[in-house]
Structure formats: structure tokens, C-alpha cells
Amino acid sequence: MPRLIGVGDNTVDTYTHLRMRFPGGNALNVAVLAQRYGAQAAYLGWLGKDERGELILNALRQEGLDVSHCRVVEDAPTAYSEVMLVDGDRVFGKSDHGVCNLFHLTDEDLAYIANFDLAHTSVYSHVEPQITELKRASRLLSFDFSQNLDEAYWRQTLPYVDIAFISLAEVPLEELENRLRQMYAFGPQLIVATRGAQGAWLFDGRQIYHQGVLPVQVADTLGTGDAFAARLLVEYLKGTPLSAAMRRAAESAAQNCTQYGAFGYGQAY
């Protein structure tokens, strides 16, 4: 069974129109969903000592993740993001990174991360000052760039990344291949790009794979990309051929669209 750890960001997605809140955040979501897709997973992040932090930790424990290296901080809040849904698509409002701004890995944390087959983090995790150390501790390092197209940022981070995820929804389709090759040239093994309803592309240095979205009755798109990434990572660690891994990732992403929140555990507020 592959072992995966999410490192860094968490948040509480606060659906203002529903008066509901859900645990979330890229690194957190990928860890939880990887566990559901067949990995042995853990999460390492910082949370505030508040109701939002309790919501996250309770959900992680119920999912069976190892949270032994999470840190609960008394004098800073757990992160949150306000979310509204417009025809099923997420629209973000106010947010506060809270205690995630203070995130820092200790030598003990790095030694713990070294026990896993893959560590996953993101552009929201504030790991850039320690990315060299994180890469050294990780057998494989996966990184979600979200929509960050800053080449200077790529130059700072991509040489330490094995698997890169990025949204290229705002990039013209005819530029897609060039962007994939540009990112690959910095050193990763795989570049995975998503374009919303147009699906996902993967480049392994030899071949570009495309996977379309699968039809489903959409309730909420929040967490869809995280579900795709989590399933793809689990399948990759299992040795599944890339085309089949992409298909299974699309199936998991489609299923994820049918519920509110990235992985459930909604709480009224």
C-alpha cells in the first residue's frame, strides 16, 4: 500500500449561502482523498485552537489519518475561506490564512516525512523557504501550483518538485503544450495541467496524455481538482499506466462533484 503525506495548507471552506462549513485546503484534501483511494495517508499542518481547528482534526481522525505531527497553536486562528456556489462552480470571497502563515517544518517533522513514499504540498502552504529541506526529506515531492504562472516562482520551486499540478484554464489552448514543456524543463518527472470542463493533460517528457471530464450531475466543483490529483498520485505510486491512471482520476473527480465540500463533514454555523 502506498504511503502519502499531505504537508502544509488547510482551511475551513465556509459556504455563506448555506451557513455550512467544511474542512478543506489542498494539502489536506489530497491526503484525505488519497486515503479513500487506497493509500495509507497522514497530514502534517498547523491549526488554531478553535472550532475550525477542531472540525478539521475530528474529520481527519474519523478518516483514519495519522495527525500525530499536526501542531495546534493557541494564539492564531485556523484558516478559512468564504465560498459561494454559482451554478455549481465555486466563487471565493474573504479569506484568512491564519496560523498557516506561521507554518515551519522542524527536523523531527522532516524525519517523519521521510517515512512516506510521497509528500504533497501546494502554493498555499508557505513551504518555499524550506523547499530544499522538504525535497531532501521526500522520496517524491508533489506540488500544486494552482494558477501560479510566475516563471520566477517556477524557477524557485520546480527544480525540487517531482510531480507538478497546475491550472492552465486561463492559458489559450494553443499555448498549452509550450507551458507543459517549459515547466518540465525545470526538472519534474510529470506535469499535470487542468482546464476545468476541458479536462486534464499530463506530460512525462515523452508523451502528452489528455483525459476529458466525465458527465455527472454537479453539486459543487470545490475539491474536484484535489480529487483528481489524489487519485492520480495513488495510481502512480501503484504503478498504474498513465492513461489508466488519468481515467481513474477523472472518475474520482466526477464523483467528488456530486457532494458539497471537498470530502464532506459539513457543519452548520
Strand ranges across the sheet with 20-24: 89-96, 80-86, 11-15, 20-24, 267-268
Of residues 183, 184, 201, the one with CA closest to residue 192: 201
pLDDT recorded at residue 84: 83
Length of the chain: 269
Evaluated on CA atoms 110, 111, 116, 117, the torsion sign reads positive
Of residues 134, 136, 192, the one with CA closest to residue 163: 192
pLDDT recorded at residue 253: 97
Residues 6+ apart with CB under 8 A from 147: 166, 167, 169, 170
* CATH 3.10.105.10 fits domain 3-264: no
Q: Decide if 223 contacts 263 (C-beta within 8 A).
A: yes
Q: Decide if 150 contacts 38 (C-beta within 8 A).
A: no
In the chain, where the domains are located: 3-264
CA atoms within 13 A on the CB side of 121: 28
| C-alpha–C-alpha distance, residues 224 and 4, integer Å | 19
Q: Decide if 182 contacts 150 (C-beta within 8 A).
A: no
> What is the distance between the terminal CA atoms of the chain, rounded to a whole angstrom?
38
| C-alpha–C-alpha distance, residues 228 and 253, integer Å | 5
DSSP letters of 83-105?
Answer: EEEETTEEEEEEEE-GGGGG---
Give buried/exposed letters for 117-131 (b at 16+ CB in 10 A, else e).
Answer: bbbbbbbbbbbeebb
Amino acid at 93: G
Residue 217 burial by CB count (10 A; 0-12/13-18/19+): exposed, middle or buried? exposed
The pLDDT profile of the chain, 269 residues, written as one tens digit per residue, is: 999 999 999 999 999 989 999 999 999 999 999 999 999 999 999 999 999 999 999 999 999 999 999 999 999 999 999 988 777 566 788 999 999 999 999 999 999 999 999 999 999 999 999 999 999 999 999 999 999 999 999 999 999 999 999 999 999 999 999 999 999 999 999 999 999 989 999 999 999 999 999 999 988 888 999 999 999 999 999 999 999 999 999 999 999 999 999 999 999 99
pLDDT recorded at residue 89: 67
Q: What is the rounded radius of gyration, in angstroms, for the C-alpha atoms of the chain? A: 17
